[in-house]
Amino acid sequence: MKDLLEYNPIIAAVKNDKGLHEAVKSDCEIIFLLYGDMITLKEKVDFLNKNNKKVFVHLDMITGFASNPIIIDYIASSMHVEGVISTRVNMIKRAIDKNIKAVQRFFIVDSMSLDSALESLKKVRPQAVEIMPGIMPKVIKKVNSQLKIPVISGGLVETKEEVISILKNGASSISTTNPNIWEE
């Protein structure tokens, strides 16, 4: 997972059909699929696969999916995804059990949420962590120094300078819904 992220420092995070079509035209190899529903998800994943993209499905954002880990089994048996993203520990654990790459997402708003995230990550051991908002070099540095897993930084990243700062502070990759950043 670390090599995949280091070779792909910009991840296209897609939140609608327009973004989906822009993402397949971009140089981004990794796509974070942040929208859809249980009926159309396979179609979106197949479309991205046909365009040689590595798909990570954000389980918490797919309409119709509950927080029941059986969803992981469904995804594993019916579609080809590179991995999944979730804030939910039970989903991350099931993905790890099923040998699906797991990215655990955390929203860091204060020192307590940072400490809680670090404690959880040490127990659950996902293949990567996504911390939000992404424009927090101090937090990226701290998470990176305490864990031996890739750090993805996402949220509120708007400029090339922010991307450079994030990567310099230890993130392996950034995820963004901004198509202008996808090509930089």
CATH of the domain at 121: 3.20.20.70
In this prediction the pTM is: 0.92
Mean pLDDT of the chain: 94
pLDDT band at 184 (very low <50, low <70, confident <90, very high): low
Given a contact cutoff of 8 angstroms between Cβ atoms, the answer to whether 43 and 55 are in contact is no
Q: What is the share, in percent, of the chain residues with pLDDT greater than 90?
A: 85
Q: At 32, phi and psi to the nearest 5?
A: -95, 110
How far is it, in rounded angstroms, from Cα 151 to Cα 154?
10
Whether the CA torsion 86, 120, 156, 127 is positive or negative: it is negative
Q: Which residue range(s) make up the domain with 16? A: 2-182
pLDDT digits over 122-151, tens only? Answer: 999 999 999 999 888 889 999 989 988 999
- Give the number of domains in the chain: 1
